[in-house]
Amino acid sequence: MPKKILLQTTIPAEQDNWSIARFHLLSEYLNGLEGTEGSRLFAVAARDRDGAQDNVLPRIDETDFDELWLFAVDEGDGLTPEDCAAIAKFRQRGGGLLVARDHMDLGSSVCTLGGVGLAHHFHSKNPEPDPSRHKIDDPFTTTILWPNYHSGANGDYQEIGAEGALHPVLRDPSNPQQALRFLPAHPHEGAVSAPPGDATARVIATGRSKVTGAVFNIAVVFEPDRENGPAIAQSTFHHFADYNWDLSTGAPSFVTEPPGNGMVETPEALVSAKTYARNVALWLAGLDPAVA
């Protein structure tokens, strides 16, 4: 039986926003993955929030989903206490969780999640513990304040670094001793770190600012234990968005930064981004990406 994945945003459907329709390529890709014996690996459902009281998130722990990929694209009010309680129970029953946000305060409602939510740092909530990082990294889009790490233009790729022992989600299936090298770039990524005192959490990947050279965290994993299923905190949802995989899919009208074309010119970068998504999906399902 394929593992069931829910891709969910924290906002209602809006054509001119980062609604779930802008993650169609990810959904299509994961839905099409097959195991070594040709069996379908995943069945993906994709949806936006459908109101102040969502019809799924407050009971996600009662569903048969194996994974929740939460794209926090709200401005601070995307999750309710009922949502957070159910998501916590979802992990407690072994569910896999990915939480991705973006710059400044975008997606800051995830702070109320606890655990994985505490891995996310924002401008006005749970800021990065190092005060020296409380400064603008992307100086070009002046309406966006820190955290806003500039890893490159939308449509370009960034070269990432593996931290510590090579984690399964970063392994290149074609060469398991090597790490995946690329993820989509974005002009203003958010900030994540391993919450102090949580022995299950560690940073596994970093990026480097194209403007200041600052190294910043891209992904924090939470290893499964007796209390919780696996989880990942991601610095930006743009690593998975259609626009960052294929510029021709378009972006909301408020995206005004000039794009790049590195993903087109370097096909290896798109392969790496998709492989990362595959590895994440397998690992969150409790499967080994190297043998699936």
Q: Which of 162, 186, 157, 188 is nearest to 268 (CA)?
A: 157
State how far the Cα of 73 lies from the Cα of 16, in Å rounded to an integer.
12
With beta carbons less than 8 A apart as the criterion, state whether 213 and 190 touch: no
Which residues have CB under 8 Å from 125's CB, separation 6+?
A: 76, 105, 108, 111
Q: Are strands 175-179 and 171-172 parallel, antiparallel or unpaired?
A: antiparallel
Let me know if residue 291 belongs to a domain: no
Q: Residue 73: inside a domain, yes or no?
A: yes
Could you tell me if residue 280 is inside a domain? yes
Gap between the Cα atoms of 4 and 266, Å rounded? 32
Instruction: Give helix 267-284 / helix 24-31 axis angle, nearest 10°.
Output: 70
The amino acid at 60: I
Residue 189, in any domain of the structure: yes
Spell out the alpha helix ranges (H) of 122-266.
242-245, 262-265
**Matching residue, tokens 């209602």:** 12
Tokens 């722990």 sit on residue: 61
Residue 291: predicted pLDDT: 79
**Cα gap 216→61, rounded to integer Å:** 33
d(CA 80, CA 60): 13
In the chain, the amino acid numbered 96 is: G
The CATH number covering residue 191 comes to 3.40.50
pTM: 0.97
**CA 222/CA 283 separation, integer angstroms:** 11
pLDDT confidence of residue 292? 75
Residue 289 lies in a domain: no
**Has residue 161 been placed in a domain?**
yes
Residue 19 lies in a domain: yes
Residue-by-residue pLDDT tens, the chain, 292 positions: 999 999 999 999 999 999 999 999 999 999 999 998 889 999 999 999 999 999 999 999 999 999 999 999 999 999 999 999 999 999 999 999 999 999 999 999 999 898 899 999 999 999 999 999 999 999 999 999 999 999 999 999 999 999 999 999 999 998 888 999 999 999 999 999 999 999 999 999 999 999 999 999 999 999 999 999 999 999 999 999 999 999 999 999 999 999 999 999 999 999 999 999 999 999 999 999 987 7
Looking at the 3D structure of the chain, how many domains does it have?
1
- The answer to whether position 292 is within a domain reads no
- pLDDT for 114: 82
- Domain holding 171, by residue range, is 3-284
